Amino acid sequence: MTHQYLSGLVLDGRRVVVVGGGGVAQRRLPRLLESGARIDLISPSITPTIEGLLGNPSLSWIERGFQDGDLDGAWYVVVATDDASVNDQVSAEAEERRIFCVRSDDRARATAWTPASGQHDNVTIGVLGGGDHRKSAAVRDAILEGLRTGELAARDVDRRPGVYLVGGGPGDPDLITVRGRRLLAEADVVVADRLAPQPLLDELHPDVELFDAAKLPRGRAAQQEEINRILVDRGRAGKVVVRLKGGDPYVFGRGFEEALACAEAGVPWTVVPGITSSISVPAVSGIPVTHRGVTHEFTVVSGHIPPSHPDSLVNWDALAQLHGTLVLLMAVENLPAIAERLISAGRPANTPAAAIADGTLPGQRMVTSDLDGIARAMQDDGVGAPAIVVVGNVVEVAALARDRAGASERGGGGVG
């Protein structure tokens, strides 16, 4: 049985030699580059992915086979060719020069093994499973998952007080980012929006101080002032404060207003981006916001005030002249006026349109029509807020794809 002594190599600025330019080298190079090593890659040929890495000044390609003396000045060697005789030659020279050498083909003849590794914040995980790659990877993944979700004890070590503006995604709790979920596990205080993934709140520790932002003092200005006050007050007290929002904090989420309030109060803050509903909700409904040959742009617009309102900052007439996809958020109440303005300004009344309510949630519903009729279709079908409205030819493309898929299922896949 081979015994290993696990150690972290400091390779910053030191020469590392990689022999071979295939798939194994391709997997090893990114982490070696992250280490800061100066890497000489020796191989007659390389993969296209490795070729793309050559823009990094720390990586040099020596376009030939291995030769005696190539290990001069090296601190670490990775042998990754499919020629056993070349691998033997390299590892023999490394042994003679007392340079630790990893072999991809025969770990029993190597002087170093590459662990299954990963990172969580500033913690690097390395696992050696006695030669069982799958076991090593499974243990590594379990450790990383535990750290990311806060289930491992390192939670108390990693906690960094401050305010975290976390995007919860479109609604399905599985669509929050890994970092967002971990921060919820570490939180002392959570201030949650109505559209944030509500099932995640059931997972909070019983000692977490929870504020439902929807139940704070009414009136948009007063409510935002109270949210800012809570974030600043708890942040100053040295708490881990999570401001949990639906979608992304900076997409019509007032996230930067809260960031500015923290900055002005001297409270550290961090934004954790989320999956915006403007793209994800149409996607899970089968509608791509862009499609080759159909649209070259998509525009996301807030419809919370009508086009005629003096506070409106949207150039609706210019939007009507675009040919691409228009995604409307918070537009259910003002949709009739928005559709009328777009049509009067030149957007064809028969432009395909769809409305998706409760996107990504179990009660998700979608209605389709054209721009002129989408508001009536929503009313007739009882589809209300929160809903995403998509206007553009991508809606028709998606419908044709669904029709073809249905025809294929009805026709069966067998050959007579």
Residue 176, CA atoms < 13 Å, CB-side half-sphere: 28
Place of tokens 């809903």: 387
Active site residue 193: yes
Residue 306's contacts (CB-CB under 8 Å, 6 or more residues apart) are: 312, 334, 337, 338
User: Residue 376's CB: how many other CB atoms inside 10 A?
Assistant: 14
> Which of 104, 134, 213 has the alpha carbon at shortest distance from 168?
213
Active site residue 239: no
Residue 247, phi-psi category: left (phi > 0), alpha (psi -120 to 50), beta (remainder): left
Q: Are 77 and 101 in contact (CB under 8 A)?
A: yes
Residue 361, CA atoms < 13 Å, CB-side half-sphere: 19
Catalytic pick from 68, 156, 215, 311?
Answer: 215
Residue 28, CA atoms < 13 Å, CB-side half-sphere: 26
Token code pair at residue 340:
């009328």
Residue 388's contacts (CB-CB under 8 Å, 6 or more residues apart) are: 277, 278, 281, 282, 327, 328, 329, 355, 356, 359
Distance in angstroms (rounded) separating the CA atoms of residues 66 and 45: 12
Residue 29's contacts (CB-CB under 8 Å, 6 or more residues apart) are: 18, 39, 41, 50, 53, 59
Distance in angstroms (rounded) separating the CA atoms of residues 234 and 248: 22
Count H helices, E strands: the chain? 13, 17
- Read off the amino acid at residue 266: G
- Read off the amino acid at residue 101: C
Residue 197's contacts (CB-CB under 8 Å, 6 or more residues apart) are: 168, 169, 171, 172, 173, 175, 176, 244, 246
Token code pair at residue 235:
């942040």
Distance in angstroms (rounded) separating the CA atoms of residues 302 and 314: 8
Catalytic pick from 70, 105, 172, 193?
Answer: 193
Distance in angstroms (rounded) separating the CA atoms of residues 47 and 400: 39
The Cα diameter of the chain in Å comes to 82
Catalogue the active-site residues.
Answer: 193, 215
